[in-house]
Chain A
Amino acid sequence: MVVAVRRNVAGLVVVFVGAAIVQLAISNTYLRYVKPGMRWMLLAAGVILILLAVADVLADTRRKPAQQHDDGQHDDGQHDHEPHTGDDDGHGHHGLPRAAWLLLIPVFALLVVDPPALGADAAQRQSPVAAKPVAPKNQSWLADSAQSDKPVPLAVRDYAIWAVWEKDSMKGRNFQLTGFVTPGKNGSWYVSRIGLTCCVADGTAFMVEARGDQPAPAKNQWVTVTGEWAEPTKRQDGDVAAITITEVRQVTPPTNQYE
């Protein structure tokens, strides 16, 4: 008995894309590219794509016997690689639209390049100057809380802005920051984090200049630094937050490397 296996390339491409998205969402790898809130949307999209491909393949198997008597008529559609001619009978999708092959490129990039979260290279492409906050908040909690000498843990994003624009509440206090190392010019280095509002396309670098005797750790090394607020560095295009470091500890990168 001859078994003619009808092979569905479109289904294969869609299954690969769907599986890649599901894998991203399950493995936390998605956090390198988008915000945590996207997880459920990614899972849903991946599952829908896989279901779509499976349904299409199943429908193919079902349809074939019924079509045997009029195959000549439908054949044109099935040969077609140009999706907009001759697919009116609705069976034309087996000729994959040529653009569809491009969908494999991101899957290829994920598998082969394994793109890391944005780090020092992306930060070096941006200016370390702290942008003026939209609505300056008085960090009154900073004044109220922790009159003790214990260093206050802060997000790099907040420190980079407050150290320039909220100087008064920061002066003379100790802080703890966690971020990756971005080398600057003349041996200086920054404790930095990338902030996302949507996805990596709008990743904004927040950088705090590290002062002190400690040698600069390796580029992209994750560190937790403790130190005292320092007067921001004046530059032509604005002020850069700075911290006088008393302790540098090498740490493993957090699951979500963005802020």
Chain B
Amino acid sequence: MSTPADSAEATESAAKTAESDPPQPPPADLPEKEEKEPAGSSIAFTVTLIVLVVLALFGRRIFTSLFTGDGIRTWATMFVGVTVQALPFLVLGVLLSAALTAFVPASFFAKALPKHPALAVPVASASGVILPGCECASVPVSAALMSRGVTPAAAIAFLLAAPAINPVVLASTAVAFPGQPKVVVARAVTSLAVSMILGWLWLLTGKGGSWFKLPKNRHAEGTRKADVFRESMLHDFLHAGGFLVIGAAAAATLNVVVPREWLDHVASNLLLSVVVLGLLAVLLAICSEADAFVAASLTQFSLTARLAFMVVGPVVDVKLIALQAGTFGPKFAVRFAPATFVIALLSSLVVGWWLL
């Protein structure tokens, strides 16, 4: 069987030949750095290459005895599955965010959004309709919005609204709940409300203060647009991708460790079932484009509890928390995720009582 590394190796060796640099006289003032830099980087490169090639060729033989346990293999399938499912959306997200950073002038956002932050929040929430991706895509995009001068409150509203109210998600919700258009309406209304409430809450509570890491603007004046695009895409992918892996590992672990049967014992109590399905959404970390089908299959629960599942999933889940920690800082994530969770549950209860 041909392994991924085989093709990677071929590409890389081609790239390596192209990489050879012309001779380079070290500048007089920085002799040490100039020697150290290529050496350190080339050790890392060589080690990485060797380790990956060795693994590709002999990995299965070396480790066969280690990874035979059924539980471990189920975990590995879940882990790879969550990563593989999310990666295309992450690539879409970093592609869009790099395009925003490189090609859309900052003045565009200044014109498009109302001057007052409190008014910019609902406009940003509503414009979440245009990003047809799941939650992994919206994190890098909202980071790019912030770095282009959009007020963080509005970017956060966009971050929360986009994965929940875009046409793909609403259409899949309508398909999952045939003949019940009120579920689609309830989902859109609740998700919009959650995103606006959190945007305004952000304005009220001191705008992050010391614990929010504003994404840096990598748009240097005088750099070619194509370079900015390439570099911010590469950087965002590497950074967010690493945190996606952490999130996928957490989701896989919870999936394997927590038995599903505990769900059945709580279905009858409304409050408890709302909280439990909210928690389930956090730890399953399912793409927002498909979570409606999972919600539809949880037939032992009330519609309100299932609404909570669909509202919480796109705004807080373990892989999203990891992504946010990577993009906006861990201190942000530990405050933001619980706040979002509580507000999402309360909104679902209110809207469920009103509409469902």
Contacts and interface: CB of A to CB of B under 8 A. Distances in A.
Interface stretch (B114-122, B202-210, B252-260, B342-350): B252-260
Interface residues of A, number: 107
Contacts of B264: 127, 237
B268 interface: no
B75 to A, nearest CB: 8
B19 A7 contact: yes
A118 B5 contact: no
Interface in B65-86: 67, 70-74, 76-85
Nearest to B257: A125
Interface stretch (A81-89, A168-176, A207-215, A248-256): A81-89
B107 interface: no
Interface stretch (B10-18, B152-160, B332-340): B10-18
A9 B22 contact: no
Contact of A110 (B4, B223, B285): B4
A58 B85 contact: no
Interface of B is mostly: helix
A146 interface: no
B239 interface: yes
B233 interface: yes
B30 A57 contact: no
Interface of A is mostly: helix
B352 interface: no
Nearest to A238: B264
B246 A102 contact: yes
Contacts of A109: 76, 79-80
A19 B8 contact: yes
Contact of A57 (B4, B19, B293): B19
A255 to B, nearest CB: 15
Interface string A179-216: 00000000000000000011111101000000000000
Given A61-B21, A111-B5, A198-B294, A33 B84 contact: yes
Interface stretch (A64-72, A148-156, A223-231, A239-247): A64-72
Contacts of B5: 16, 19-20, 107, 111
Contact of B289 (A49, A118, A198): A198
B63 to A, nearest CB: 5
B30 A101 contact: no
Interface of B: 1-5, 7-8, 11-12, 15-16, 18-25, 27, 29-30, 33-34, 37-38, 41-42, 44-46, 48-49, 52, 55-56, 59-60, 62-63, 67, 70-74, 76-85, 87-88, 91-92, 95, 176-179, 213, 216-218, 220, 223, 227-228, 230-231, 233-235, 237-239, 241-243, 245-246, 248-249, 251-252, 255-256, 259-261, 264, 284-287, 289-291, 293-294, 296-297, 299-300, 326
Interface of A: 1-24, 27, 30, 32-34, 38, 41-42, 44-45, 48-50, 52-61, 64-65, 68, 71-72, 75, 78-79, 83-84, 87-94, 96-118, 120-122, 125-127, 131-135, 197-202, 204, 237
Given A4-B23, A6-B21, A99-B326, 8 more contacts: A3-B21, A9-B45, A23-B2, A72-B30, A112-B63, A122-B77, A127-B261, A199-B84
